[in-house]
C-alpha cells in the first residue's frame, strides 16, 4: 500500500506542484481545495494519467468540522504518513491602519488555525504514541514572516510568523513520537496568490530586490517539500528552510 500524503490547497500553485511530485515519488495523494474544483480535478486527472493515485476533497481548513471530514475521507486511501499544510490566503494590499477585525479573522483562521487543525488530525493518525507508524509534516510558511511585508500584507506576514513558531513547538512536542515537523519559507513565487492581493504581476515588480534577480517557480518549492518529507531528511525537524533566491 502506498504511503498517503495530504496536501491542503492542492489545486494550484505550490500545492498542486507538490501533489504532482509526491505522486511521482510514490505517494497516494489526497488534496484539498476550497474553491476552483475544476483545477483540483485537473491535478487529480494528471496524476491518474501518470499511473498515480489521487483524490480531491472540498474543504475549508478554517472550519473544524470540514477538517475532520477531510481527514476521514483521506483515511480511505490508507494510513496517513505525511501532511503538507499549504492552504493559505491573503487579502488585498493594505496598511495596518486600514485593516479591520473581519479581515484579520479571515487571514488567521485559514493560515494559522487551519494549519493547527490539520496538524492535529495528522498527529492523531501518525503518532507512535497513539498507535501510528510515524510520519512527517511540512508547513508552508513564507519569507514574509521575517520581512514583515510593510504597506502590503503585515497581517499575512504575522500569520506566517505564527507558523514558524508553531513549526518549532510542534516539532519538539512530537519528536519522540516518530513525527518530524519542518517548514519551508518561500520568497516571491509565480503563483496565483498575488492576484488575490490585487497585483497579479507583483513578482515581476519586486524581483529586482531578490539577489538571484527572479521569482521562483512552484516546482522549486515543491522539490524542497518532498525532500523534507523523505528519509533523506531523517534527522531534520524543527527547521525553517528558506527558498527565496537569497532574499
Positions marked catalytic: 156
CA dihedral 192, 194, 200, 203 (to 10 degrees): -110
Q: At what angle do helices 13-24 and 37-49 cross, to 10 degrees?
A: 20
- Cα(46)–Cα(41) distance, integer angstroms: 9
Please spell the DSSP secondary structure of 174-231, one letter per residue: HGGGTEEEEEEEE-SB-STHHHHTT-TTHHHHHGGGSTTSS-B-HHHHHHHHHHHHSG
Q: At what angle do helices 114-126 and 64-74 cross, to 10 degrees?
A: 40
The number of helices, as runs of H, and strands, as runs of E, in the chain is 10, 7
- Nearest CA to 4 out of 86, 87, 125 is that of 125
- Cα(108)–Cα(95) distance, integer angstroms: 17
Q: At what angle do helices 218-229 and 13-24 cross, to 10 degrees?
A: 50
Amino acid at each position: 500500500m502506498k504511503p498517503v500524503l495530504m496536501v491542503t490547497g492542492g489545486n494550484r500553485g505550490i500545492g498542486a506542484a507538490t501533489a504532482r511530485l509526491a505522486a511521482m515519488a510514490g505517494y497516494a495523494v489526497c488534496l484539498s481545495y476550497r474553491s476552483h474544483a475544476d483545477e483540483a480535478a485537473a491535478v487529480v486527472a494528471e496524476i491518474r494519467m501518470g499511473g498515480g493515485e489521487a483524490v480531491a476533497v472540498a474543504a475549508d481548513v478554517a472550519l473544524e468540522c470540514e477538517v475532520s471530514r477531510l481527514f476521514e475521507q483521506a483515511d480511505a486511501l490508507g494510513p496517513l504518513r505525511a501532511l503538507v499544510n499549504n492552504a493559505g490566503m491573503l487579502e488585498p494590499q493594505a496598511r495596518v491602519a486600514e485593516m479591520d477585525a473581519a479581515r484579520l479573522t479571515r487571514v488567521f483562521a485559514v493560515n494559522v488555525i487551519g494549519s493547527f487543525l490539520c496538524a492535529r488530525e495528522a498527529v492523531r493518525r501518525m503518532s507512535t504514541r497513539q498507535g501510528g507508524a510515524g510520519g512527517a509534516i511540512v508547513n508552508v510558511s513564507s519569507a514574509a514572516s521575517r520581512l514583515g511585508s510593510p504597506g502590503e500584507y503585515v497581517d499575512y506576514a504575522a500569520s506566517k510568523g505564527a507558523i514558524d513558531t508553531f513549526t518549532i513547538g510542534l516539532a519538539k512536542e512530537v519528536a519522540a513520537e516518530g513525527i518530524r515537523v519542518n517548514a519551508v519559507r518561500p520568497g516571491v513565487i509565480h503563483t496565483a496568490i498575488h492576484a488575490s492581493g490585487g497585483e497579479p504581476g507583483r513578482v515581476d515588480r519586486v524581483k529586482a530586490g531578490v539577489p538571484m534577480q527572479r521569482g521562483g517557480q512552484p516546482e522549486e518549492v515543491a522539490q524542497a517539500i518532498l525532500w523534507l518529507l523523505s528519509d533523506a531528511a531523517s534527522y531534520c525537524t524543527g527547521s525553517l528552510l528558506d527558498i527565496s533566491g537569497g532574499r
